[in-house]
Amino acid sequence: MTLTADRPRKSDIKNVGVSTEARVFTVWGPLGSTGKSTVALNLAYEFALLGQRTILLDLDTYAPSLVQLLPIQDSSAGLAAVARLIRQGRFALEELERLSINIKRGRTQFRLLPGLPNAKRWAELTPETVTQLVAVCGLNFDVVVIDVASPLEDALTVPGSPTARNCVTRSAIKLASNCISVLVASPLSVSRYLNNFAELEELQKSRTLILNGETPNQQLANAIRSLTKEHIQTQIPSDEPALQLAESQKLPLALARRKSAARNAIAALAHKLLA
């Protein structure tokens, strides 16, 4: 099973005008290994399978990892170059074409904008970076999937930088049509989610809560519902063999093990989100 990753040809991206139907899904999760990047990647592929023009943005300024999940040899400057062009007032569709990577198998394809080559460069990104990037993506794609970091603290700065450390994550959540919150079934993950709930509620009212991995613990689900009035809307079953195969082969689940339970749950979630 092969998946190619290459620079899109000039004819692959066309200026089709602003799409009022473009949807932005920001995938977030509390600190800990919740699998949010895996969810973001597989959602992007499922959207592409459904015929949606899709772009996946790696805006995790702490630990960008999407390039490692795909068969990409040259990840390029990606997001860092986009930020520089936006500061210079020179970012446009042609630059998005040049800096994005085409991920393709057969007729199914989506595009990836790689994250920062070094997390220490986070200060180069601002809310304007995110806003303009998403706006330009909205000219050419039906769906924009954004993978972001976990920390949400506002106004967290470091000496010598006027940029708030978590402004990219906060901006991406604000701009989303829907923020997909990925938890695992553990008291620690739920506790961390609850600690972030007030911030999430302030940033984005439209959210989808999903549980990744183990069978739902009814006590945890009840605690979330009692404290937040939220319901777990999707549960992705634990399927380690399929996930390990996909990771080793650098493939989406739909290509590594099409009938896996985890893949089926993510495919159903993609349908639900578009509906």
Evaluate whether residue 255 is within a structural domain: yes
Average pLDDT of span 50-73: 94
Evaluate whether residue 4 is within a structural domain: no
- Res. 87: pLDDT tops 80: yes
Domain that holds residue 199: 19-274
Evaluate whether residue 212 is within a structural domain: yes
Evaluate whether residue 5 is within a structural domain: no
Evaluate whether residue 189 is within a structural domain: yes
Evaluate whether residue 3 is within a structural domain: no
- Alpha carbon distance 24, 231 (integer Å): 21
Question: pLDDT tens-digit profile of 239-250?
Answer: 999 999 999 999
pLDDT band at 7 (very low <50, low <70, confident <90, very high): low
56: CATH: 3.40.50.300
- The CA distances from residue 251 to 4, 38, 78, 105, 168, in Å, are 10, 10, 21, 10, 27
Evaluate whether residue 146 is within a structural domain: yes
74-78, 200-204, 223-227: least confidently modelled range: 74-78
How many domains in the chain?
A: 1
Evaluate whether residue 8 is within a structural domain: no
- Res. 181: pLDDT tops 80: yes
Q: Which residues contact 262 (CB under 8 A, 6 or more apart)?
A: 236, 237, 238, 239, 242, 243, 253
